Structure 1
Amino acid sequence: MDFEAAKRLCRTFAGCTEDVKWGADLVFSVGEKMFAVTANAAPAEGISFKVDDDRFLELTDRPGIIPAPYLARAKWVHVSREADLSDQEAAQLLRRSYELVHARLSRKLQREIGAA
């Protein structure tokens, strides 16, 4: 998985904002809600994002993918360099993470993001 490509992909999602939190983490958000977190340094060594509840156990059974520290209870995973995850599958998972977070926003905010 190419983490720099993952960062570029996240930036293309409607209403995506990014900022640095906790000193060194680059956080991608929609409607001020996080959907992906990676290192601010380049090249990044991993990325964390939200997954569907039913995919959480499946993904964390794969080498190089673990429950994300501090966020596992919310069904977030952390993907490291050792993960056997294609760029295509990673893109699908990141888009789904964005969709999961976007769906939890208020209808008004969803409309505002869609109109932007």
Structure 2
Amino acid sequence: MFHRKGFDDFVATLAGTSLVDQWDAHVAKVGGKVFVLLSADEGGAALTFKCSEESFELLTTLDGIGQASYFAKRKWVTAAERAPLSATELEAYVKRSYELVAAGLTRKARQALGIDG
């Protein structure tokens, strides 16, 4: 997930997503709304994603994970490569971010993008 190919391959498995380069990051969107960013971090790469309030409280206590700049008030975190999360855990958090953001889209927009629910 911390390398562009792995990031792109995972994001491509989620319905209705698009990828753009903006804000000095590689950004994944659903319905035009950001759900995860891949960016450079001191000493490596970092992922920024939305999470639930409970996950936000838990994740921000871990080394290598902090409140995301400009996003923290909305429960976004930035996880550095050194963060103690497995690839499976990161994928689950990114998928949950996608679900949280997609849930904010209109039903019509979700249907047009092929998103169930």
Same fold, judged at TM 0.5 (above): yes
Greater mean alpha carbon deviation, residues 93-102 or residues 3-12: 3-12
Find the aligned partners of 1:54 and 1:63 in 2 and give their Cα distance.
17
Partner of 2:68: 68
Partner of 2:7: 6
Secondary structure at the residue paired with 1:85?
coil
Secondary structure at the residue paired with 2:114?
helix
Find the aligned partners of 2:39 and 2:96 in 1 and give their Cα distance.
20
Find the aligned partners of 1:76 and 1:39 in 2 and give their Cα distance.
14
* TM-score, normalised relative to structure 1: 0.88
Partner of 1:15: 16
Q: What RMSD in Å do the two structures reach over aligned CA positions?
A: 1.6
State whether residues 6 and 90 of structure 1, in contact with CA within 8 Å, keep that contact through their aligned partners in structure 2: no
Q: Displacement, 1:61? A: 0.3
Secondary structure at the residue paired with 2:105?
coil
Secondary structure at the residue paired with 1:78?
strand
Partner of 1:95: 95
Pairwise mapping of residues 6-85 of structure 1 onto structure 2 (< 5 A)?
6-22=7-23, 24-39=24-39, 45-85=45-85
Find the aligned partners of 1:81 and 1:98 in 2 and give their Cα distance.
20
Structure 2 stretches lacking a partner, 5+ long: none
* TM-score, normalised relative to structure 2: 0.87
Q: Report the identity percentage.
A: 35
**Amino acid corresponding to residue 9 of structure 2 in structure 1:** R
Structure 1 stretches lacking a partner, 5+ long: none
- 1:80-105 CA-to-partner distances (Å, cap 9, x unmatched) read 02201000111110100000000000
Count of residues in correspondence between the two structures: 110
Find the aligned partners of 2:51 and 2:82 in 1 and give their Cα distance.
19
Q: Displacement, 1:35? A: 0.1
Q: Displacement, 1:16? A: 0.5
More helix by share: 1
Q: Displacement, 1:10? A: 1.5
